[in-house]
Amino acid sequence: MIGRDLLGTEDLDRADIERILETAEHMREIGRRTIKKVPTLRGRTIVNLFFESSTRTKSSFEIAGKRLSADVINFAAASSSLKKAESILDTARNLEAMDLDAVVVRHAVAGVPKQIADVLSAPVINAGDGAHEHPTQALLDLLTVRREKGRIDGLTIAIIGDILHSRVARSNIYAFRKMGAEVRVAGPPQMLPAAIETLGVKAFTSLREAIDGVDVVMALRIQNERLSGTYLPSVREYSATYGIDREKLKFAKDDAIVMHPGPVNRGVELSHDLTDHRPGVILDQVRNGVAIRMAVLYLLSGRRQEGDPRLDLESGEEK
Ligand code: ASP
């Protein structure tokens, strides 16, 4: 169960996902204590290797590691020897020579976490690679939906927006499908990958059809940093057609929840009122992100050596 690395939800099976969600429930409970710290990973060193901007993912991996008593190093790519033309793989090898226990990687190019995992023996966690995968985002989304709805099996999720460039969409499609949900995607035709239906989802260009009767509406940001050329005639037109507001939400179930991985472009993919007046779920996604990242760090690095049993979750003692 659960391999050495976490590179994508495509590689996880249902039992792995359930194990991570169960562990995260326990981690959430630690986060509600006055002293939000357990000794589980004391003496372990985790490095955050972020080559692309991040607010939520980077800080929540740091908080997660610290709540488990690990030493967390934030590698600053902009002021590192990458500027002296050292390669990413050599950077990773040199960092590992300092006896790291886990490496969290974000990069604008798909596949970089896998390349690093291939040369390191420490577990590698993908914190988002290009338009490929963002597994911990999908896991925190699953946890949020399961807590809100009591289940995932049998629900219908509509993911709306720039599906083509979204690693969040891809990781969520794999994860929600594995957990028994029906997944729909919708967006302008030029932002729907041609072969998207081979992943087992239904694709729509009509927002109304896509969100008809769904339990969950997930709005995505247009990935401007990944667009080459012009994809949209105008942001205003996009927002009028695909931006989620109260009017359009009426087509979903009455108790549908609205999610967004952040950062939200208010008034573009999500109306101001939905961002402000239904903040519970979107900020819960962020809250659950810490618990999921604690769970993943524990499950991947909470052993003495590969093959050893995991350390006790609370005390860090060998079981
Ligand atoms: N924060 C998410 C990501 O890094 C979503 C986004 O940036 O739109 O993929």
CA distances in angstroms from 315 to 22, 42, 107, 302, 311, listed in the order given: 18, 10, 34, 11, 8
- 58 touches ligand 1 (CB under 6 Å): no
What SS3 state is found at 43? Answer: coil
155-169 average pLDDT score: 97
Q: Is the pLDDT confidence value at 304 over 70?
A: no
91-95 average pLDDT score: 91
What SS3 state is found at 101? Answer: coil
Per residue in 95-106, pLDDT (tens digit) is: 899 999 999 999
**What is the rounded radius of gyration, in angstroms, for the C-alpha atoms of the chain?**
19
Give residue 173 CA to ligand 1 midpoint distance, Å. Answer: 15
Q: Are 50 and 58 in contact (CB under 8 A)?
A: yes
Q: Are 152 and 146 in contact (CB under 8 A)?
A: yes
Give residue 50 CA to ligand 1 midpoint distance, Å. Answer: 13
177-186 average pLDDT score: 98
Give residue 251 CA to ligand 1 midpoint distance, Å. Answer: 26
Percent of the chain with pLDDT over 70: 98
Ligand 1: which residue has its CA nearest to atom 1? 262
Q: Is the pLDDT confidence value at 118 over 80?
A: yes
- 221 touches ligand 1 (CB under 6 Å): yes
Confidence of residue 276 (pLDDT cuts 50, 70, 90): confident
Give residue 261 CA to ligand 1 midpoint distance, Å. Answer: 6
Q: What letter does residue 200 receive in the DSSP assignment? A: T
Place of tokens 């690095």: 301
Percent of the chain with pLDDT over 90: 82
Q: Are 133 and 107 in contact (CB under 8 A)?
A: no
Amino acid 277: pLDDT:
64
Give residue 168 CA to ligand 1 midpoint distance, Å. Answer: 7
Q: Is the pLDDT confidence value at 7 over 90?
A: yes
Structural domains of the chain, ranges and CATH numbers in brackets: 9-134+285-301 (3.40.50.1370), 135-281 (3.40.50.1370)
Confidence of residue 279 (pLDDT cuts 50, 70, 90): low
Amino acid 1: pLDDT:
56
- 261 touches ligand 1 (CB under 6 Å): yes
- 128 touches ligand 1 (CB under 6 Å): yes
Amino acid 308: pLDDT:
72
178-204 average pLDDT score: 97
- 134 touches ligand 1 (CB under 6 Å): yes
The Cα–Cα gap between 49 and 124 comes to 10
Confidence of residue 316 (pLDDT cuts 50, 70, 90): confident
The Cα–Cα gap between 102 and 29 comes to 23
The Cα–Cα gap between 246 and 136 comes to 29
- 226 touches ligand 1 (CB under 6 Å): no
**Mean pLDDT, the chain, as a whole number?**
93
- 107 touches ligand 1 (CB under 6 Å): no
**What are the percentages of helix, strand and coil residues in the chain, rounded to 5?**
45, 15, 40
Enumerate the β-bridge partners of residue 283.
none
Q: Are 46 and 302 in contact (CB under 8 A)?
A: no
Amino acid 21: pLDDT:
98
Q: What letter does residue 250 receive in the DSSP assignment? A: T
Mutate to test the pocket of ligand 1, among 50, 134, 139, 269 (most ligand atoms within 8 A of CB): 134
10-30 average pLDDT score: 96
Give residue 137 CA to ligand 1 midpoint distance, Å. Answer: 9
Confidence of residue 77 (pLDDT cuts 50, 70, 90): confident
Q: Is the pLDDT confidence value at 48 over 70?
A: yes
Give residue 263 CA to ligand 1 midpoint distance, Å. Answer: 7
Amino acid 318: pLDDT:
79
